[in-house]
Structure 1
Amino acid sequence: MGGINKLTGPIPKSFSNCSALELLDFAINDLTGTVPETLGSLPNLYHISFDANRLGHGRAGDLNFLKSLGNCTVLQVLALGGNHFGGELPESIANLSPYMRTFDLWGNFIHGNIPNGIGNLVNLIRLNLTDNQLEGSVPEAIGKLRNLEGLYLSGNKFSGSLPLSLGNLTSLIVLYLEQNMFEGSIPQTIGNCTSLNILNLSKNSISGTIPREVIGLSSLSIFLSLSNNFLTGTVPSEVGRLKNLGELDLSENKLSGELPSNLGECVSLERLHLEGNEFDGTIPQALESLRGLEEMDLSRNNLSGLIPKFLGELLSLKVLNLSYNNFDGELPGKGIFSNAAGVSVIGNDKLCGGIPKLLLPPCRKEKSNSRRKIFSRKMVIPVTCAAILLAVILSLFVGFSKWRHVTKSSTEDWQASMSYLDLFQSTDGFSENNLIGSGSFGSVYKGILPRDNNIIAIKVLNLQQPGASKSFLDECNALRSIRHRNLLKIITACSSIDHQGNDFKSLVFEFMANGSLDQWLHPRDNGEHQNMRLSLIQRLNIAIDVASALGYLHHDCETPIVHCDLKPSNVLFDEDMVSHVGDFGLAKILFKASDIPAEGQTMSVALRGSIGYIPLEYGMGGQVSIHGDGYSYGILLLELFTGKRPVDDMFKNSMSIHQFVAAALPNHVMDIVDPSLLFEDDEDEENGNDIEEISMNNVNPRLNVGRRTNDCLVSVMQIGLMCSRHSPGERMLMHTVVNKMQAIRESYLKCKKSRNMKRF
């Protein structure tokens, strides 16, 4: 076995000399070239895994070796995902071992059809062809794989109707068919798959109504998504049979009618997405039974009536989107409705009341007859005129103040501006000895103010760099009114001229004594931080701090802000190792309510960010949204716990840090974490083992990491993967990340505390 190493070069043909070889596992390396056909001369081989390498050339003939594997008569596992294999699936796959249980070719460049011979592999339990370029219809022969538990065909170009024979797969637990071009209706026969836990048919061109047999499949317990299709009609009442379902997503279709009250019987629901349809009527009172609901999105429908108060009594509800409907009346004020970051009601022009941050008009209240008499016409007219005149005067005054406010180079709530001379003297003339960092638009210096000896950090803009002046203004605008313990605090700004008469612009920040996350994760050769490492708890704290900062920017600011350049060098530590997110030179303020992206929505701007952390959609279409920050956070989280940069040499071509981590979870998480975490004390500490002694005696450090640490790391990595998903709408929102990361930390600390108490 040679999995998860740094092996390079081709697969040696000499393996064919190992006639007794039974298992060949070289997953997650950097192997290139072709798979030798001589592997077919190994009759005892039952497991082959070359997942996540660079095998193949992306062209015809790459899969010719599959024919020779027909001689491996006891072969059970063939895992070739995450490579560069091209060409078509050969008909010879029909001759593979009848004992085949796993057939994985995900993440390659394979095109053409699935051969009918696939039906010969009757003992297959898992078939994964995700993220290729396969096309045509899925053959009815797929229905012969009656032992199949997992079928993964998402991210291809399959078309035509879904095969009716899917209903023969009665052992199926997971069915992923999303992101293809399937047409026609959903086969009723899928209702025969009574072991199904997950069904995803989203992002196709499926039409017709939702079959009662499918929506009422009571075995569905994790995820049902039919989103982004062309489904019509009402939601059948059989939806109430989904009593164990965690997430239901029927969004972005053409479904109509009233919301079925039977939804209230889905008592395990945590996420309910029905946005982007044509539902009408009111929100059913029966939904008050959904006590575990965390997210509900009913936006962009034709719902009307009062917003029920029971929604404010759902204690688990963290996200509620009711925007762009026809709701009227007074908005409740309790629970989720008291959190402006968690609720959206924009586009409902008849709503009133609610907390001030939601910016709804006050509700009119009926006045008694006695009050009407007091406010007679003779009094109302002059009072109204005076109020109008006063409002005009105030608006002119406010407008003039705002004009003056915008034209100033620093805000009034910052301290009095420092002069160029002050900054020049505090840095010894911007000496290189005081240079602590540099970026795309300028340099950062450490300064000591002569008048009070306070240490500051001064970001001096390089105005010769195109875009630097705009970056200065953007950062001023972004930092003008935000305040959060995990954001780098600005002291003042300076816009002046230097000794040579050139324009000079700088921002002055609190000094961060412990440098940046980048310096701690990737120490330089000069010895900086070489003898210091971040513990697991410190990394959890950093992850929570950064997520809290982004959550504040996205959801708690009066005008949401997208950071656009989150990376380790922009995460700074104060003397107590509290994290502060800085550098808002690329930040984007979403000024209008309509600028706030709903799930799946974005706003067009130029490409922003740093290579490795830029979300995929920015590179393809120049789009910006809070989901883009979510992607950058996900990559940063994976880097924080693996210690590997996303631009590491090992991540080339089709391999990425996301794929690297995904391929290792859950069983190989300890093979990819930052090596310094392998010396964390855990369950072995309970037995009195000394970490330093273990290291000195050359004991495998992985043995020093217990189950609790392993589980903690798996949970964290999974959040990183969810945040860095390809589709923006599928990424986790920051307030959800904060809650989940805090729960992981609390669980780990609780277990550790309990273990320490047992020792005494």
Structure 2
Amino acid sequence: MGGINKLTGPIPKSLSNCSALEVLDFAGNGLTGMVPETLGSLPNLYHISFDANRLGHGKAGDLNFLKSLPNCTVLQVLALAGNHFGGELPESIANLSAYMSIFSLGGNFIHGNIPNGIENLVNLNVLSLENNQLEGSVPEVIGNLRNLEGLYLSGNKFSGSVPLSLGNLTSLTILSLEKNMFEGSIPQTLGNCTNLITLSLSRNNLSGTIPRKVIGLSSLSIFMSLSNNFLTGTLPSEVGRLKNLGELDLSENKLSGELPSNLGQCVSMEGLHLEGNEFDGTIPQALESLRGLEEMDLSRNNLSGLIPKFLGELSSLKVLNLSYNNFEGELPRKGVFSNAARVSVIGNDKLCGGIPKLLLPPCPKEKSNSTRKIFSGKVVIPVTCVAILLAVILSFLVGFSKWRPVTKSSTEDWQPDMSYSDLFQPTDGFSENNLIGSGSFGSVYKGILPGDNKRIAIKVLNLQQQGASKSFLDECNALRSIRHRNLLKIITACSSIDHQGNDFKSLVFEFMANGSLDQWLHPRDNEERQNKRLSLIQRLNIAIDVASALGYLHHDCETPIVHCDLKPSNALLDEDMVAHFGDFGLAKILFEASDIPTEDQTMSVALRGSIGYIPPEYGMGAQVSIQGDSYSYGILLLELFTGKRPTDDMFKDGMSIHQFVAVALPNHVMDIVDPSLLFEDDEYEENGNDIEEIAMNNVNPRVNVGRRTNDCLVSVMQIGLMCSRLSPGERMLMHTVVNKMQAIRESYLKCKRSKNMKRF
């Protein structure tokens, strides 16, 4: 494997001599030329990834190597996205392995049709062909891929109708067909896809009305976009079933009628885009229930009446566009209306008032006789009585709120939006001197915020990398409602434009002074090795910190969250060596029909995570689960105390880190632990030795390690083994792990305190 390095040049044909090769991963490099047609001579290959290279010449023949791959009879993953492959998809893809679960060719120059033989890949979970030059109709046989969970066909030249057979894909979670030339109506059958969380049909030539079964898909939780089509009719009241939806975009169509009050039932909505339609009537009062709404665009419609004051009371609302309608009366001044940069009301000639920067005419003053009537005794006395009564009620409510427990989402602590320029200066123009790390979707820079001199870490997304934008949305979605002392705290998110006019997305986090756990476990040079030694108690604390964060995500969140990418590089250490887990780019929020989360909640998804930490069932197409995180934690725990990566060269020919530890317990645990743990000062003092004496006289340190350390390590390793068992149902859940690890630490410290007391 050579993923995410700086490899260049062609793929060596000599790879075909590695007959036992199972995984071939060169993603994220600079490889060029053709893929050897001899790959088919590797019968044990089950994972091939050449994503994000420069392979191919954009011409016919680039994909000839696919004709040899049917010989790889156990192939499950074929990832070739983000290259320069041209030509047509060969008919031979119909003969690929029956075990194929991921077939990814997005971001290339492939033209022609999708072969009907695609239906033979019956176990396919993900089909990703987006951003190519494919054309013609999408074959109806695609509906035979009943296990399909992600279908990505956006950014091509597909025409004809959206296949009715897509309604057969009841396991589908993501359907992305935007930026094509589909025509006709939206199929009613899509309403059968009751596991969809994201649906995008935008920028096509679709017409007709919005099917009630589709707009009412209650499973939709991330994004629904039907924008930039020719849809007509009213917005069905079934829209109110989208209670978990984050963003709804129906802009640039020909929808008409009044906005349904049921929109107010979409209580999780953060973005509502209805601009460029023919809606009329007033803004429904029911929309005041959308307390999490951050952006709303109703511009270029025929809406009228007063602009409701409740819009100024939505504390999360950051962008509001009401321009080019027929609104009238006084414009509110509170909330979003107090910032001229965040509200637009131009093209409403009958509006008045508002803050001066909006340049609206002043509202006419009321007549004096009206004023006298208002302040007449018949009015003042009852109004005064009502005011006194309200004051008493308000006093009671204020007193009640002082002892009532308060819960807040983590986004309430986020600083206001930052722009590219706001982050450009603190990082010296994102210079390499401030680069502190890089990953699959971008780079991380350190910086200092002007004003409060707060140190920050800025994760900048590489939007050219396939999946980066989705990773950004997933991470924002996961972080918007969680808070825990062992989760990396986000300061704000930035979606802006850089100095060249390109899209720019980043996440700003608190800076972690001691870097990642990976840097401590695997120092790069001798100097680091001398300075970065983790004691046993530090490792116990870190293990408990990570388990506590996972326990919170799995069991204490309102909706359970699976992290999907546990590994030491995602565990960051602050100045007190407290671990904070981050990188939620692959995280998945679990949804069930029941409101009560259970321990076996799962959700269909493509293969996720990092090699070595991915639970084996994911590789066979199983569903994401909290037990999958338990497996990854178990591997991380074994790595933390052995000092060996799960991808170490020693783990081959059937040997894994799990087996490596299992055969050593309990009698030979000291033979497999990280050697630096054998030089704990207090242990040697107990045996009348010190580190210098041991080093000078070549004393075997293993014989000098105390019994309590041995017992502690055996107990910890056993938890790692239980978490990383092959069967998901046999793995230890995180709340149990936290309790057991805390008990191990307390037992170790108690014994240590007792021995220290004896010395005095």
Give the Å deviation of 1:521: 2.2
Distance of 2:18 and 2:268 partners within structure 1: 53
Q: 1:402-441, aligned counterparts within 5 Å?
A: none
Deviation digits for residues 124-166 of structure 1 (CA, Å, limit 9, x no counterpart) = 0000001100000000010010000000001111111100000
Distance of 2:86 and 2:139 partners within structure 1: 21
The alignment partner of 1:206 has SS state of strand
Q: Report the AA paired with residue 141 of structure 2.
A: A
The alignment partner of 1:88 has SS state of coil
Distance of 1:27 and 1:540 partners within structure 2: 23
Q: Report the AA paired with residue 122 of structure 1.
A: V
Distance of 1:107 and 1:158 partners within structure 2: 15
Distance of 2:274 and 2:452 partners within structure 1: 47
Q: 1:344-355, aligned counterparts within 5 Å?
A: 344-355=344-355
Distance of 2:44 and 2:28 partners within structure 1: 23
Return closer, same or farther for 1:283/1:58 CA change in 2, 3 Å cut-off. same
Give the Å deviation of 1:633: 7.8
Q: Give the TM-score taking structure 2 as reference length.
A: 0.55
Return closer, same or farther for 1:214/1:195 CA change in 2, 3 Å cut-off. same
1:679–1:691 CA contact under 8 A, matched in 2? no
Return closer, same or farther for 1:705/1:333 CA change in 2, 3 Å cut-off. closer
Distance of 1:119 and 1:146 partners within structure 2: 10
Distance of 2:352 and 2:181 partners within structure 1: 43
Does residue 173 of the first structure (1) align with residue 173 of the second (2)?
yes
2:343 maps to which residue? Answer: 343
1:354–1:360 CA contact under 8 A, matched in 2? yes
Distance of 2:263 and 2:14 partners within structure 1: 61
Distance of 1:336 and 1:225 partners within structure 2: 25
The alignment partner of 2:257 has SS state of strand
Distance of 1:697 and 1:187 partners within structure 2: 63
Distance of 1:228 and 1:679 partners within structure 2: 47
2:26 maps to which residue? Answer: 26
Distance of 1:92 and 1:535 partners within structure 2: 41
Q: Report the AA paired with residue 37 of structure 1.
A: E
Deviation digits for residues 462-503 of structure 1 (CA, Å, limit 9, x no counterpart) = xxxxxxxxxxxxxxxxxxxxxxx99999xxxxxxxxxxxxxx
Deviation digits for residues 625-659 of structure 1 (CA, Å, limit 9, x no counterpart) = x9644875855969x99xxxxxxxxxxxxxxxxxx
2:430–2:445 CA contact under 8 A, matched in 1? no
The alignment partner of 2:196 has SS state of coil
Does residue 153 of the first structure (1) align with residue 18 of the second (2)?
no
1:680–1:704 CA contact under 8 A, matched in 2? no
The alignment partner of 2:205 has SS state of coil
Return closer, same or farther for 1:137/1:270 CA change in 2, 3 Å cut-off. same
Deviation digits for residues 16-37 of structure 1 (CA, Å, limit 9, x no counterpart) = 1111111111111111111111
1:301 maps to which residue? Answer: 301
Distance of 1:256 and 1:708 partners within structure 2: 54
Distance of 2:570 and 2:256 partners within structure 1: 53
The alignment partner of 1:288 has SS state of helix
Q: Report the AA paired with residue 34 of structure 1.
A: M
Distance of 2:90 and 2:144 partners within structure 1: 19
Return closer, same or farther for 1:10/1:370 CA change in 2, 3 Å cut-off. closer
Q: 1:469-508, aligned counterparts within 5 Å?
A: none
Return closer, same or farther for 1:487/1:51 CA change in 2, 3 Å cut-off. closer
Give the Å deviation of 1:339: 2.1
Distance of 2:533 and 2:16 partners within structure 1: 34
1:329–1:350 CA contact under 8 A, matched in 2? yes
2:427–2:446 CA contact under 8 A, matched in 1? no
Return closer, same or farther for 1:302/1:2 CA change in 2, 3 Å cut-off. same
1:706 maps to which residue? Answer: 571
Distance of 1:314 and 1:22 partners within structure 2: 54
Give the Å deviation of 1:364: 0.2
Which blocks of at least 5 consecutive residues in structure 1 are unaligned? 373-484, 490-513, 524-531, 546-573, 580-625, 642-676, 719-757
2:413 maps to which residue? Answer: none
1:486–1:578 CA contact under 8 A, matched in 2? no
Does residue 283 of the first structure (1) align with residue 193 of the second (2)?
no
Give the Å deviation of 1:183: 0.7
Give the Å deviation of 1:680: 3.6
1:328–1:348 CA contact under 8 A, matched in 2? yes
Q: Report the AA paired with residue 127 of structure 1.
A: L
Return closer, same or farther for 1:220/1:100 CA change in 2, 3 Å cut-off. same
Distance of 1:173 and 1:631 partners within structure 2: 35
1:248 maps to which residue? Answer: 248
2:435–2:444 CA contact under 8 A, matched in 1? no
* Deviates further, 704-713 or 7-16: 704-713
The alignment partner of 2:109 has SS state of coil
Deviation digits for residues 674-702 of structure 1 (CA, Å, limit 9, x no counterpart) = xxx99843568999x999964448999x9
Return closer, same or farther for 1:112/1:289 CA change in 2, 3 Å cut-off. same
Q: Report the AA paired with residue 706 of structure 1.
A: A
Distance of 2:188 and 2:580 partners within structure 1: 39
1:520–1:534 CA contact under 8 A, matched in 2? no
Q: Report the AA paired with residue 178 of structure 1.
A: E
2:194 maps to which residue? Answer: 194
Distance of 1:575 and 1:238 partners within structure 2: 48
2:358 maps to which residue? Answer: 358
Return closer, same or farther for 1:72/1:221 CA change in 2, 3 Å cut-off. same
Corresponding pairs, count: 465
1:132 maps to which residue? Answer: 132
Return closer, same or farther for 1:176/1:707 CA change in 2, 3 Å cut-off. farther
Q: Which runs of 4+ in 1 moved over 3 A?
A: 369-372, 485-489, 514-520, 532-536, 538-545, 574-579, 626-638, 677-687, 689-700, 702-705, 707-718
2:83 maps to which residue? Answer: 83
Does residue 98 of the first structure (1) align with residue 101 of the second (2)?
no
Which blocks of at least 5 consecutive residues in structure 2 are unaligned? 373-417, 457-494, 535-566, 588-744, 750-760
2:22–2:45 CA contact under 8 A, matched in 1? yes
2:426–2:448 CA contact under 8 A, matched in 1? no
Q: Return the match for 1:521 from 406, 431, 439.
A: 431
Q: 1:627-706, aligned counterparts within 5 Å?
A: 628-629=497-498, 635=504, 680-681=514-515, 694-696=528-530, 706=571
Distance of 1:73 and 1:203 partners within structure 2: 39
Q: Report the AA paired with residue 208 of structure 1.
A: G
1:679–1:705 CA contact under 8 A, matched in 2? no
The alignment partner of 1:159 has SS state of strand
Distance of 1:21 and 1:238 partners within structure 2: 52
Deviation digits for residues 252-310 of structure 1 (CA, Å, limit 9, x no counterpart) = 11100100111011111111110010100000111111111111110110000001111
2:197–2:221 CA contact under 8 A, matched in 1? yes
Return closer, same or farther for 1:185/1:633 CA change in 2, 3 Å cut-off. closer
Deviation digits for residues 154-182 of structure 1 (CA, Å, limit 9, x no counterpart) = 11111111000000000000001011111
Q: Report the AA paired with residue 84 of structure 1.
A: H
Return closer, same or farther for 1:229/1:712 CA change in 2, 3 Å cut-off. farther
Deviation digits for residues 527-565 of structure 1 (CA, Å, limit 9, x no counterpart) = xxxxx88799x98785866xxxxxxxxxxxxxxxxxxxx
Does residue 310 of the first structure (1) align with residue 310 of the second (2)?
yes
Q: Report the AA paired with residue 681 of structure 1.
A: G
Q: 1:739-758, aligned counterparts within 5 Å?
A: none
2:203 maps to which residue? Answer: 203
Does residue 332 of the first structure (1) align with residue 332 of the second (2)?
yes
Does residue 143 of the first structure (1) align with residue 143 of the second (2)?
yes
Give the Å deviation of 1:313: 1.5
Q: Report the AA paired with residue 224 of structure 2.
A: L
1:109 maps to which residue? Answer: 109
2:151–2:175 CA contact under 8 A, matched in 1? yes
Give the Å deviation of 1:91: 0.6
Q: 1:64-83, aligned counterparts within 5 Å?
A: 64-83=64-83
Q: Report the AA paired with residue 232 of structure 1.
A: T
Give the Å deviation of 1:2: 0.8
Q: Report the AA paired with residue 340 of structure 2.
A: A
Give the Å deviation of 1:325: 0.5
The alignment partner of 1:78 has SS state of strand
Deviation digits for residues 397-423 of structure 1 (CA, Å, limit 9, x no counterpart) = xxxxxxxxxxxxxxxxxxxxxxxxxxx
The alignment partner of 1:279 has SS state of strand
Q: Percent identity?
A: 72
